[in-house]
Structure 1
Amino acid sequence: MTTPIRIALVGMGKIARDQHVPTIQQDPVFQLVATVSTSGGSVDDLPAFASLEALAASGVAVDAVSLCTPPQVRRAIAHSAIDQGWAVFLEKPPAATVSEAIALRDHARARGTGLFASWHSRHAPAVEPARVWLADRQVLDASIIWAEDVRQWHPGQDWIFEPGGFGVFDPAINALSIATQILPQALFVEGAAIDVPSNRGAAIAADVSLRTAAGAPVHARLDFLQRGRQRWDIAVRTNDGDLLLSDGGAALSINGDSLSVADALHGEYAGLYRRFAEIVPAREVDMDLAPLTLVADIHLVARRTEVDAFDW
């Protein structure tokens, strides 16, 4: 494996420019060598291609790719990248469906190629301290509030409301990725109600009932129309006190007392790329599908309600 790892970005939307580009540029382990985008645009003077096939045919030396496309088209692109022998970093959610993600996992293992289903919120600074504190305690119940304004965080991104675009579950899967990381037992879906705008194909809000394997109830309120203060909070009541993980995993309090954690909310992607740097040379497959499976289960049991049309 070369050092630095030569990496190409596929999909040059907001998340690629806001997170992936600066993280790669600041990490000496990686060298950004090309971009791929159907809408054009690149970074600095790097070679830019309209398709993965064009990149493969160009002769540009590549060791790995990060896929930042909408999930609906990701499986075919990732499959082709694996066929090229390139390690693949998948933005969350890793695929549009569970079966697509499983197929990619199996294909990467068969080809001996690295594959990483990234969950950036698990790398927020307070998540690991929360997991450690909860590990030897009995969870009595928990609540999740994931409420943000889609117009602020995904302005004009119609794909997010198309089938396979996840709607409110695009941000809410971050909450599920944290919950499945910090809670000591597995989570199961008991029921859900989802609201879908009359002119859209994916949910804009949801109310979800879950339960841990040990029987503790977990309630989640998910909202894509939050005004004012945005909320990304997980509260857990235990037999030995209460935990509050807030600001998307950036802040932690125990029994009302704030704990000091590193200010690394915008360093989540640095943690992801540190992990990917291990995966690439080891040709490892790191693909935890628990958050994606929960989203699929929610839709299997949910009562669907049509609500007012949504427009930007």
Structure 2
Amino acid sequence: MTTNSTYSIAIAGVGKIARDQHLPAIAAHSGFDLVACASRHAEVDGVRNYKTIEELLAAETGLDAVSLCAPPQVRYAQARAALEAGKHVMLEKPPGAGVSEVEALRELASAHNRTLFATWHSRHASAVEPARGWLAQRTIRGVHVRWKEDVRRWHPGQQWIWEPGGLGVFDPGINALSIVTRILPRAVLLRAATLWVPSDAATPIAAELDCVDTLGVPVRAEFDWRHGPVEQWEIDVETTDGLLSISEGGKRLSIGGEPVELGPEREYPSLYEHFHTLIANGAHDVDVRPLQLVADAFLLGRQVEVEAFGG
């Protein structure tokens, strides 16, 4: 196959993220042709629509790829069905409800000679690669992450985020962890965590993580869904050559207090460009490190009950 091939693709899970990001990114990419969607409660104009991915896969026998945008609790079953049907699979973040699920999918994709792409859209923010390149040549003294927003603004009425596998505040927080694990030159290890869990939920509304890299450099992360009205999506990296700061979720970068000029924001278009290249080259991209840190937080974290969220 060549990188100018056009692949037919379907989306499973037509919610806010699919409409806001995936559909426009696919429409703008000449290498993909959206032919079908699967969703229990929504349809997309101009394509064939099905209620379940099983119905879609049974009918769309010539389909090349599937992009999965449903909540993580159902991601494994959907991905397994698509891979066993011979389709390439792209996973919205987080790639699964658990690390073991994603590892099983990696093995299944290899067995069927299909591409599996576990996406981390924040890694494709414009500040990430320049930050990674600059930090590669520096001595790092410490990292401080502040990832705070209002859950009622960003997840209105979405009960799945409070259920087991929904991750709670780690749903946005994992975006920060995906950036940190990309820009730092060494692995990050969790040492302790505190999780604040509403009395009517199974997942945290706030969390603090105390981590180190493999040389003992401190990496601290603060996540909070009770913050607003202005979001705080910031990562500061202190080095011997000054402070590197990422802000606005990866849209802004400064070094030593001076802004760095960046290219345009195109996270999801970049994801689909990468997916296309992976398919063309028969390759995979499955990095579970951000999800592993979240899993470690649930394993090692001290849980503190707080007032009910109340929906």
How would you bin the TM-score normalised by the shorter chain?
Answer: over 0.9
Aligned twin of 2:274: 275
Aligned length: 309
C-alpha separation in 1, matches of 2:191 and 2:27: 44
Deviation at 1:283, TM superposition (A): 2.7
Which stretch has the larger CA shift, 270-279 or 55-64?
A: 55-64
C-alpha separation in 1, matches of 2:268 and 2:236: 24
Deviation at 1:106, TM superposition (A): 0.6
Distance 1:59 1:168, change over 3 A: closer
C-alpha separation in 2, matches of 1:305 and 1:261: 40
Deviation at 1:282, TM superposition (A): 2.5
Aligned twin of 1:121: 122
Which residue of 10, 16, 20 maps to 2:22? 20
C-alpha separation in 2, matches of 1:49 and 1:281: 27
Distance 1:211 1:301, change over 3 A: same
Q: Is the 8 A contact 2:5 2:280 kept in 1?
A: no
Aligned twin of 2:300: 301
Q: What do residues 76-134 of structure 1 show as CA deviations (whole Å, max 9, x unaligned)? A: 11001001110000000000000001000011011111100000000000100000010
Q: What do residues 215-234 of structure 1 show as CA deviations (whole Å, max 9, x unaligned)? A: 11111110011112101100
Q: What do residues 120-150 of structure 1 show as CA deviations (whole Å, max 9, x unaligned)? A: 0000001000000100111101100000111
Aligned twin of 2:69: 68
C-alpha separation in 1, matches of 2:156 and 2:112: 38
Aligned twin of 2:166: 165
Q: Is the 8 A contact 1:122 1:177 kept in 2?
A: yes
Aligned twin of 1:138: 139
For the aligned residues, what is the CA RMSD?
1.1
Q: What do residues 184-220 of structure 1 show as CA deviations (whole Å, max 9, x unaligned)? A: 1110001000000000111100011000111111111
Q: Which amino acid in structure 1 is aligned with residue 284 of structure 2?
A: V
Unaligned segments of structure 1, at least 5 residues: none
Structure 2 residue 281 is the aligned partner of structure 1 residue 285:
no
Deviation at 1:280, TM superposition (A): 1.6
**Which residues of 2 match residues 1-312 of structure 1 at below 5 A?**
3-39=5-41, 41-59=42-60, 61-264=62-265, 267-312=266-311
Q: What do residues 243-297 of structure 1 show as CA deviations (whole Å, max 9, x unaligned)? A: 0011111100011011111131xx1001100000011233322101110111111
C-alpha separation in 2, matches of 1:219 and 1:118: 24
C-alpha separation in 2, matches of 1:108 and 1:152: 36
Instruction: Tell me the SS of whatever aligns to 1:163.
Output: coil
Q: What do residues 32-51 of structure 1 show as CA deviations (whole Å, max 9, x unaligned)? A: 00000122x22213110111
Q: Which amino acid in structure 1 is aligned with residue 275 of structure 2?
A: F
C-alpha separation in 2, matches of 1:146 and 1:24: 28
Structure 1 ranges of 4+ moved more than 3 A? none
Deviation at 1:60, TM superposition (A): 5.5
What TM-score do you get using the length of structure 1 for normalisation?
A: 0.97
Instruction: Tell me the SS of whatever aligns to 1:229.
Output: coil
What TM-score do you get using the length of structure 2 for normalisation?
A: 0.97
Unaligned segments of structure 2, at least 5 residues: none
